[in-house]
Amino acid sequence: MDDAPPELLDLPSGQALVSWRRSSRARRVSLRIDPRFGAVVVTLPPRASRGAGMALLVDHAGWVSDRLAALPDALPFVDGALVPIRDIPHRIVHRPGARGGAWIEGQEIHVAGEAAFVSRRVHDLLRVLARRQLGEHVARKAALLGCEVARLTVRDTSSRWGSCAPNGGLSFSWRLVMAPDAVQDYVAAHEVAHLRHMNHGSRFWALVDRLTPNAETAKDWLHEHGARLLRVG
């Protein structure tokens, strides 16, 4: 699948950032919104032309414009920004004369070094925290089932909060570090349950309910606030 940077295109409803993806699994041309970049993603099957994608974009220009306009404002990692950790706002404090990368003091994220390093260092810190927090949730859930997790990784994904590989490896979006603890608990339970059931059948959901009391409220929270998390950083 191609992964080119978004390009700015003129559509009947105005300009929009557009990313092009080619997928061997796609059966038709499709559109989706990527909140991370504030862009519309056009997915093309192997033999579909760019022209087919442009035709779909033009036909759905109003939908694209409305969806992009509805996205939450982007929140870059800069001095003074309020970044949620477990849904608690933490203010970024740039300390150019300090050393030590980035660390948390109370409800502040302190960042040492030059201003150009602030974004990367906050990002790195949150990835470490995400792996630690989600790892704790996963360890508890796996222990309840007597399962072993082959590997746990954190990534920057736009369509899934977590995934389970056939070899037992689990992967999560680092952005879950910004979600409430109950949401992290649910996503961890969801992926650990896949170690037993690699589907979304009734036995899978029954196991999720055994592993966490937070499934319904967490799904509602992610539906309402997930796009906001994807606009951070």
Total domains, the chain: 3
pTM: 0.86
Asked if residue 118 and residue 148 are part of one domain, the reply reads: no
Asked if residue 186 and residue 106 are part of one domain, the reply reads: no
Classify residue 141: in a domain, yes or no.
Answer: yes
Classify residue 64: in a domain, yes or no.
Answer: yes
pLDDT, the chain, mean = 95
CA distance 60 to 68: 12
Asked if residue 178 and residue 148 are part of one domain, the reply reads: yes
- The string of pLDDT tens digits covering residues 32-81 is 999 988 999 999 999 999 999 999 999 999 999 999 999 999 999 999 99
Task: Provide the pLDDT for residue 159.
Answer: 81
Q: Note down the domain range covering 13.
A: 7-69
Asked if residue 51 and residue 14 are part of one domain, the reply reads: yes
Classify residue 77: in a domain, yes or no.
Answer: no
- The arithmetic mean of pLDDT across residues 15-41, rounded, is 93
